[in-house]
Structure 1
Amino acid sequence: MAKALVQHVCSECGTATPRWLGKCPGCGAFGTLVEEIKSAPGGSSTARPGTPVPLGEVRASEAERMLTGVAELDRVLGGGLVPGSLVLVAGEPGVGKSTLLLSVLGAMSKSRRALLVTGEESVAQVSLRAARLGGAYAVGILAETELEAVCATLGSERPDVCVVDSVQTLYSPDVGSAPGSVAQVREAAARLMRVAKETGVATILVGHVTKDGAVAGPRVLEHLVDCVLQFEGDRYHEHRILRATKNRFGSTNELGIFEMTAGGLVGVPDPSELFGSTHPGEVGAAVACVLEGTRPLLLEVQALVAPTDLAMPRRVATGVDPRRLAMIVAVLGRHAGIALGGSDVFVNVAGGVRIEEPGADLAVALAVASAARGVPVRAGSATFGEIGLTGRLRPAAQAERRLDECRKLGIDTVLAPEGTSGRERPHVTAVETLRAAVKAGLGAHPARTDEPVLAATA
């Protein structure tokens, strides 16, 4: 009989040590090492050597994707589910992971076999939710947490799609640790991946997240699966954002936006109309045309500039990289003549969307300049462009897509860097420097008396 070995594994990163330590040597976290029992390998190996095959002789055909019935999810996945793939959907508690996936199973069950393995809720609870969402009565449901039973069910039933809610509740008796531990999650993911590839079942795993927003469990979990989807949003707000942080079958730049309604999560096909509207004459608001993957979005960028008595003024950004905001504020002061050294600067992207591309720099700068001078941005205008440290503007990628989105939403004028191709509608105002962009974007509107106006340096 193989001798059992005791090792201590970090619950955050999966690092294993032979003895307990207060601080994990892998990730530096404190108090995260837990004891696990591991069987030592015994006996001689009987494995036979394999025969390599030249890559040029491999005949592979692209598998036909299965549409989920939710257009926003299909967009993020790259066109639908691939048979035999393993997808991980992670998000905070209450964000709507189970609701979204139950809607997906309900839509797919009309033409395919769908199975739901639940380890967190009873069958009656899932049935009540299905009735609230409009019915998913053709979906098969299995309340089971033992890994061997789940794998055996997948092998015998062979559904087209299966959702496991959640992977942290599965356990294997062969692993000497509690459910949800690093070893159990690693074993469950490896076994389910093997079963999915052998049977061709498209499997979706629901995963928990830590307090920092990262996927709970070992890092190997994200390496094993084919696709990692991050479900973001505040449970107290109605909009949710679905992103792909890893996708072996498509792009990781796509974005899906959902709205929580009484009938469940509903995709938002035109988010620009929802997030890109501003009120005419409002100080500190600018419309940015950003690109998320292949989808152009119009987003409202809001800014507030307030005098401060602090020695180090604050630069607070929500939805924008704080380091990029600090750079934009510095360039505004140095090259556009807008002194912000004695003021706090707050920037927010409406709708809870996070902007990561540099094409939104010019909109952030215009919003901050509008708030600092008390002058609104020109009505009916949008902007895009990257700001350099020298004060010059750099063209943004895929300008034609952005201009088409602006035209669809009725934007009259687009402020863009020099070199952007012009068109009749919307009219493109090309500028070369940030100083010229601020002059063209703000114009000569009178300042509102109820807004504080900061003096601008020459």
Structure 2
Amino acid sequence: MAKKEKKVYICNNCGKEYSRWLGKCQECGMWGTVEEQIVIKGKKRSSSPSKNKKSMGIKRLDEIDFSENKQIYSTGISELDRVLGGGFFQKSILLLSGDPGIGKSTLMLQAADSLIKNEHKVLYISAEESVEQIKKRSLRLDVSQDLMLTNEDRLNKINNLIKKSDSDFVIIDSIQTIYDEKVDSIAGTISQIKNATISLREIAHDYNKVVLVIGHVTKSGNIAGPKLLEHMVDVVLFFEGEQKKHWRILRSQKNRFGSTREIGVFVMKEEGLIEVSNPSTFFMENVPDLSGSAMVSIIEGMRPIFLEVQALVSKSFYSMPQRVANGVNIKLLNIILAIIEKRLNYQVGKYDVFLNIVGGFKIREPAVGLGMAVAIISSLLDKNIKKNSIFIGELGLSGEIRAVPLIKKRVREAAKIGYENIFIPKISLKNDYKDIKIYKPKTITELVDIIF
């Protein structure tokens, strides 16, 4: 007898099932999280993965044997180790997500190669690509040929392969393509992802494995699957960047073994991902000595990064002047323009204003406000800014220059790189650097008098 399909509606935040669609989940109270799923009637639901698990005894802390040298494995990739908090932790499960084509599989293959060179055994389970495709990519990336591969996508078979193998690390590519034959839904649904993650987590704990799981993202940029997926894993990594740009940033959204404030910076090249050991200067190449250009400092994780802000102000021939911002929020640009017009009496309302963050970087912090204002004024007046100058500070609505977090760290890094003129808010910061001038204007008006 043919199995019938049935529609159910499941909340991707808490997993609650409904017989009809609801705008708000009645269990967790979240809006827009109830999604339609197809289940096949007639299949047996799998029992809980914990059903046959042995009971664990109670131990005192001083009875537990722990050694960082034995239970934390360095990946051999310093930028990845930085984000992880030193390396992979034994008996852990990690989730790596990111946009399609961003380099998730490349990063995992390079990590596998590094681990094999450190005498670890790695099993790569690719449910998306054929072993021939992985082989071709491994040759391009010069990955060790000792890597073990399989195309298995059935959860029970994967579990058996992991248990029988002597591998220390297991890479799953990807969690959305694995399915359990006993669960009455197709691969990629909430119940399948949830069941697979629970099963893999228990194998990691019971067999002393490190499981690395690759996950897809939705159109909105969230990790595909139930929110519970992020709670079940130990580490959640997000790989971001633009496919047309060569830089990539690895962030930690959750880390039970280290800080979530560190980032790893990579460059995508033909031979794979290359680490950027000093990201502070990565976006500073070929900075022109022209009007409309200003350098700013942002903090990514705990690392200062210096970026160039370019502005072009030109006479408008439209009834409504154009406002274009690339890399910053357009609302922030409008606020900066309003401050310039009100506090400096420059009639920018008659001009088209175009603003760009060089390198395709997207800035989320207000510390670039001062640099944006200087770049716009420089273009408006068509006057160059002092050479080797950098602007650090938030611009308030009254035209005052406000303090930003970690300013001492930003100044120290700017001085180290070679900036001679550093403009910061009026704070108690001593100038301990030779041949470097630190300016502390209170307002944007004072700053303009100093620069122009």
| TM-score, scaled to structure 2 | 0.86
The letter of the residue matching 1:28 is: G
Q: Relative to structure 1, is the Cα distance of residues 35 and 270 closer, same or farther in structure 2, using a 3 angstrom cutoff?
A: same
The within-5 A match list for 1:9-88 is 9-10=9-10, 16-21=16-21, 26-28=30-32, 32-36=35-39, 61=66, 63-64=68-69, 65-88=72-95
Quote the residue 1:358 is aligned against. 366
Task: Evaluate the alpha carbon distance shift between residue 199 and residue 414 of structure 1 in structure 2; reply closer, same or farther with a 3 A threshold.
Answer: same
Shift of 1:440: 2.6
Over 3 Å counting, the alpha-carbon distance change for 1:134 and 1:17 in structure 2 is closer
Residue 335 of structure 2: aligned partner: 327
Aligned equivalents of 2:282 and 2:46: distance in 1? Answer: 59
Tell me the SS of whatever aligns to 1:424: coil
Q: Distance in 2 between matches of 1:40 and 1:238?
A: 45
Flag the 1:396–1:197 CA change in 2: closer, same or farther, 3 A: same
Q: 1:180 aligns with which of 177, 188, 202?
A: 188
- For residues 128-143 of structure 1, what are the structure 2 equivalents within 5 Å? 128-143=136-151
Moved more, 406-415 or 327-336: 327-336
Is residue 285 from structure 1 mapped to residue 293 from structure 2 by the alignment? yes
CA contact (8 A) 1:11 1:217 kept: no
Q: Provide the rounded CA distance (Å) in 1 between the counterparts of 2:302 and 2:272.
A: 26
Paired residue for 1:430?
Answer: 440
Alignment of 1:277-316 (within 5 A): 277-308=285-316, 313-316=321-324
Quote the residue 1:447 is aligned against.
none
Number of the residue aligned with 1:99? 106
AA paired with 1:125? Answer: Q
Q: Quick check: 79-88 or 50-59, which moved more?
A: 50-59
Identity %: 33
Query: Residues 41, 269 of structure 1: CA spacing in aligned structure 2 closer, same or farther, 3 A cutoff?
Result: closer
Shift in Å, 1:16 = 4.0
| Post-superposition offset of 1:311 | 6.1
In 1, the alpha carbon distance for the partners of 2:384 and 2:367 equals 21
C-alpha distance in 2, partners of 1:113/1:326? 55
Asked if 2 retains the 8 angstrom alpha-carbon contact of 1:278 and 1:287, the reply is no
| d(CA) in 2 for partners of 1:308, 1:12 | 48
CA contact (8 A) 1:257 1:267 kept: yes
**How many pairs were matched up?**
435
Give the RMSD, CA atoms, in angstroms.
Answer: 3.2
- Partner letter of residue 421 of structure 1? K
Asked whether 1:210 is paired with 2:210, we answer no
CA shift for structure 1 position 73: 1.4
Q: Which residue number corresponds to residue 89 of structure 1?
A: 96
Secondary structure of the 2:348 match is: coil
* Separation in 1, partners of 2:252, 2:396: 29
Name the stretch that deviates more: 296-305 or 100-109: 296-305
Cα distance in 1 for partners of 2:313, 2:334 equals: 13
Deviation at 1:194, TM superposition (A): 2.0
Give the match for residue 235 of structure 1: 243
Aligned pairs for 1:145-184 (under 5 A) are 145-184=153-192
Letter in 1 for 2:32: G
**Secondary structure in structure 1 of the residue aligned to 2:86:** coil
Residue 360 and residue 21 in structure 1: after superposition, are their counterparts in 2 closer, same or farther (change >3 A)?
Answer: same
Question: Aligned runs of 1:111-122 on 2, under 5 Å?
Answer: 111=118, 112-122=120-130
Q: Distance in 2 between matches of 1:185 and 1:39?
A: 17
The answer as to 2:271 corresponding to 1:267 is no
CA–CA separation in structure 1 for the residues paired with 2:92 and 2:321: 49
1:7–1:18: 8 Å Cα contact kept in structure 2? no
Question: How do 1:352-431 residues align onto structure 2 when only pairs under 5 Å count?
Answer: 352-419=360-427, 420-422=429-431, 423-431=433-441
| Distance in 2 (alpha carbons) for counterparts of 1:6 and 1:39 | 14
Contact kept? 1:240, 1:259, Cα under 8 Å: yes
For residues 233 and 69 of structure 1, the distance between their equivalents in structure 2, rounded to whole angstroms, comes to 22
Partners of 1:332 and 1:295 in 2: CA distance? 30
Does the 8 Å CA contact 1:164/1:204 hold for their aligned counterparts? yes
Give the partner amino acid of 2:376: V
Shift of 1:368: 2.1
- Stretches of structure 2 that go unaligned for 5 or more consecutive residues are none
**What is the letter of the counterpart of residue 20 of structure 2?**
W
Moved more, 79-88 or 421-430: 421-430
Contact 2:73 2:87 in 1 (8 A): yes
State the Cα deviation string for residues 167-208 of structure 1 (Å, max 9, x = none).
111000121111111211121122212222222322211111
The alpha-carbon deviation at position 148 of structure 1 amounts to 1.6
Preserved contact between residue 11 and residue 181 of structure 1 (Cα < 8 Å) = no
The answer on whether the counterparts of 1:97 and 1:231 sit within 8 Å (CA) in structure 2 is yes
Q: Which moved more, 1:158-167 or 1:98-107?
A: 158-167
Q: Sort the Cα spacing of 1:425 and 1:321 in 2 relative to 1 into closer, same or farther, 3 A.
A: farther
Instruction: Tell me the SS of whatever aligns to 1:431.
Output: coil
Deviations 1:106-162 (A, max 9, x none): 011112122211111111211111111113212222221111222222233253222
Provide closer, same or farther for how the CA distance between residues 198 and 330 of structure 1 changes in structure 2, counting only shifts above 3 A: farther
- 1:218, CA displacement in angstroms? 1.7
Specify the code of the residue in structure 1 equivalent to 2:9: V
Is the CA contact (8 Å cut-off) linking 1:320 and 1:354 kept in structure 2? yes
Q: What TM-score do the two structures reach when normalised by structure 1?
A: 0.85
Change (3 A) 1:403 1:369: same
Structure 1 unmatched runs, 5+: 444-458
Shift of 1:316: 3.6
Name the CA distance, whole Å, in 2 between partners of 1:113 and 1:354.
38
> Is contact 1:7-1:16 (8 Å) kept?
no
Structure 1 residue 313 displacement after superposition = 4.8
Report if the CA contact (8 A) 2:38-2:186 is conserved: no
